[in-house]
């Protein structure tokens, strides 16, 4: 049936309706969107997410399926926003995929070697916590230090990210810093200062 025919049927049905004019107008707009093949769900799906799933690992433990997911969030995020993102992520069924319990670990952007995670969230749908031997449904733990200093600038973040990436490729710390300084046309001290600032903001991994 063509759209014109469908519209005629709709108008005939709406004609017998006692509802207010605006209600009919709203219903008509919704109907026309459906008739044209518009997909509102698609629009929602295309909305940028506040986190990106870096990795996902599923394992069996005490006859339960457990999933650990590492996600990336904006490096300039604050405590309140991070807590909300962690809560949303640990309830994200596209990550859990039916697992009994999901643990989400948040990182500042691409960084993963020079700094600590920003926080962790756990949701156990069976109420037995992460280990499966306790009691607990949801647990949100924000571990990002409350440093009170300004977020990393774009240049600072790129410097730290480059060093972090090079460490992942087997470079020594000195090699990574010197190469990064050359690559970004900055001094070695600029790179080291950016790393120190990142570690104040996000925490320094223990040796």
Long-range (24+ apart) CB contacts under 8 A made by 182-191 are 184/155, 184/158, 184/159, 186/155, 186/159, 190/159, 191/159, 191/160, 191/163
% pLDDT > 90, the chain: 71
**What's the pLDDT tens digit per position in 172-205?**
999 999 999 999 999 999 999 999 999 999 999 9
Domain boundaries, the chain: 3-45, 52-142, 154-202
Q: What is the pLDDT of residues 137-172, one digit of tens each?
A: 999 999 999 888 999 999 999 999 999 999 999 999
- Give the per-residue pLDDT at 47: 52
- The reported pLDDT for the residue numbered 147 is 85
**pTM for the complete prediction?**
0.76
Q: What pLDDT, on the 0 to 100 scale, is given for residue 135?
A: 87
pLDDT in tens, 29-65: 443 343 333 443 344 345 568 999 999 999 999 899 9
Number of Cβ atoms within 10 Å of the Cβ of 64: 17
Find the helix or strand (DSSP H, E) in which 132 lies. Answer: none
Q: Which two tokens stand for residue 188?
A: 């070695």
pLDDT at 206: 86
Checking if the pLDDT of 12 tops 60, the result is no
Pick the CATH number of 52-142 from 1.25.40.10, 3.40.50.150, 3.10.310.90, 1.20.1070.10: 3.10.310.90
pLDDT of 181 reads 97
């Amino acid at each position: 049936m063509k759209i014109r025919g469908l519209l005629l049927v709709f108008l005939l049905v709406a004609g017998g309706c006692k509802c207010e004019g605006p209600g009919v107008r709203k219903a008509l707009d919704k109907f026309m969107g459906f008739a044209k093949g518009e997909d509102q769900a698609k629009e929602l799906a295309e909305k940028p997410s506040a986190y990106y799933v870096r990795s996902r690992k599923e394992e069996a433990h005490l006859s339960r399926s457990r999933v650990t997911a590492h996600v990336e969030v904006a490096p300039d995020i604050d405590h309140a926003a991070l807590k909300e993102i962690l809560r949303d992520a640990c309830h994200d069924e596209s990550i859990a995929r039916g697992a009994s319990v999901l643990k989400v670990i948040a990182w500042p952007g691409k960084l993963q070697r020079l700094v600590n995670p920003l926080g962790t969230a756990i949701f156990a749908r069976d109420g037995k916590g992460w280990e499966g031997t306790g009691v607990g449904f949801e647990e949100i733990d924000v571990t990002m230090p409350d440093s009170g200093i300004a977020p990393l600038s774009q240049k600072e973040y790129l410097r730290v990210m480059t060093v972090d990436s090079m460490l992942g490729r087997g470079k020594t710390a000195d090699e990574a810093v010197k190469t990064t300084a050359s690559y970004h046309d900055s001094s070695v001290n600029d790179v080291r200062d950016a790393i120190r600032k990142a570690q104040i903001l996000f925490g320094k991994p223990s040796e």
